[in-house]
């Protein structure tokens, strides 16, 4: 059994089959990228995996545990962490306070609600380590909402890392970024994969080809093909989907 595994996930919105028996797996130290045209069902799949949306059928397993019916916070505790495209950032607070709050939230029952001074140091160390990890060490005293877009995205990743995930779910981390920020985010993600499994949903093909160990192509809610970078790059069906030269096999009439 794979470390992280999605088996036969199904989600319907009325008559629309947004997720059509999707199965995929990610091993530790691996980046599995999920690509597909607009409306393919990528975000729906992220929602099914991370918890806000229950699937109609199928399973989500991480490290031997079945997470399918667990609420979101329990999945986070089980090791599944997700970036929220900046919406999880407290914009009025400093970078450091954002990180401290996140570190505290995930410090577990031993810290919990305690206001004991002894516990301040480990939290501060965690916050510092998170800032360094994503390259925000020099920006810790800035108000988060005033950071440039690329830095806010890094902070968002740092907040997800505070949970010490076994699987990190990244939903379009490069969205709205210029080439320079994209490159920095690519480097950051590359460094993270040594410590966790990563499921990356991304439109930026340059980043996907640079990072992915495996790519699955989602079309009309279904995995069209799955393979390594070379296999996907050279696949005529994938080229057809992205160049729009023809309807992919299995497209609804
Ligand atoms: N809550 C919902 N209710 C009804 N239909 C939905 C809902 N969420 C998504 N859909 C539909 O499901 C399909 C898949 O949408 P989804 O947002 O998962 O695609 P996506 O691959 O993330 O697209 P994009 O690349 O534009 O982000 C689309 O047809 C969308 O309109
Ligand atoms: Mg989406």
Query: pLDDT per residue over 135-167, tens digit each?
Result: 999 999 999 999 999 999 999 999 999 999 999
Kindly report the CA angle at 203 between 76 and 163, in degrees rounded to 5? 15
Average pLDDT value for the chain:
89
Neighbours of 136 (CB within 10 A): 23
Q: Which residues contact 170 (CB under 8 A, 6 or more apart)?
A: 82, 83, 157, 189, 198, 199, 200, 201, 202
Q: Is the CB of 38 under 6 A from ligand 1?
A: yes
Ligand number, closest to the Cα atom of 171:
2
Cα(133)–Cα(161) distance, integer angstroms: 9
| Length of the chain counted residue by residue | 253
Ligand number, closest to the Cα atom of 45:
1
Q: Is the CB of 13 under 6 A from ligand 1?
A: yes
Q: Which residues contact 4 (CB under 8 A, 6 or more apart)?
A: 25, 26, 27, 61, 62, 63, 166, 167, 197, 199
Token readout for 173 is 């981390």
Ligand number, closest to the Cα atom of 222:
1
Cα(220)–Cα(29) distance, integer angstroms: 29
Task: Give the tens place of pLDDT for each residue, 41-73.
Answer: 999 999 999 988 999 999 999 999 999 999 988
Q: Is the CB of 85 under 6 A from ligand 1?
A: no
Give 196 Cα–ligand 2 centroid separation in angstroms: 23
Q: Can you name the residues that pair with 223 across neighbouring β-strands? A: 218
Contact (CB, 8 A) for 34 and 200: yes
Domains and CATH numbers, the chain: 4-89+164-243 (3.40.50.300)
Neighbours of 233 (CB within 10 A): 14
Kindly report the CA angle at 75 between 116 and 205, in degrees rounded to 5? 115
The ligand 1 atom nearest the CA atom of 36: 21
Asked if residue 248 has pLDDT above 50, the reply is no
The ligand 1 atom nearest the CA atom of 203: 25
The residue whose CA has the least distance to atom 16 of ligand 1 is: 41
Q: Which residues contact 30 (CB under 8 A, 6 or more apart)?
A: 193, 197, 198, 213, 214
Q: Please compute Rg for the chain using Cα positions.
A: 19
Contact (CB, 8 A) for 77 and 147: no
Task: Give the tens place of pLDDT for each residue, 107-130.
Answer: 764 444 445 555 556 889 999 999
More confident residue, 97 or 176: 97
Task: Calculate mean pLDDT across residues 5-11.
Answer: 97
The ligand 1 atom nearest the CA atom of 218: 21
Q: What is the pTM of this model?
A: 0.88
């Amino acid at each position: 059994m794979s470390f992280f595994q999605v088996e036969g996930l199904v989600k319907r919105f009325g008559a629309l089959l947004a997720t059509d028996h999707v199965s995929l797996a990610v091993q530790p130290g691996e980046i599995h990228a999920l690509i597909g045209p607009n409306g393919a069902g990528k975000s729906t799949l992220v929602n099914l995996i991370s918890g806000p949306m229950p699937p109609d059928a199928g399973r989500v397993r991480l490290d031997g545990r079945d997470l399918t019916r667990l609420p979101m916070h329990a999945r986070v505790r089980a090791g599944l962490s997700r970036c929220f495209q900046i919406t999880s950032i407290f914009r009025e607070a400093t970078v450091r306070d954002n990180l401290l709050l996140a570190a505290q939230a995930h410090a577990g029952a031993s810290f919990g609600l305690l206001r004991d001074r002894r516990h301040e140091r480990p939290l501060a160390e965690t916050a510092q380590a998170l800032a360094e990890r994503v390259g925000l060490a020099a920006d810790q005293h800035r108000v988060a909402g005033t950071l440039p877009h690329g830095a806010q995205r890094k902070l968002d990743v740092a907040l997800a890392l505070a949970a010490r995930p076994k699987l990190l779910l990244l939903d379009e981390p490069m969205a709205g970024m210029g080439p320079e920020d994209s490159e920095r985010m690519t480097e950051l993600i590359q460094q993270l994969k040594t410590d966790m499994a990563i499921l990356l949903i991304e439109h930026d093909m340059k980043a996907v080809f640079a990072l992915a160990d495996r790519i699955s192509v989602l079309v009309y809610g279904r995995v069209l093909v799955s393979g390594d970078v070379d296999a996907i790059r050279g696949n005529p069906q994938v080229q057809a989907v992205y160049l729009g030269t023809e309807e992919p096999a299995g497209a609804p009439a």
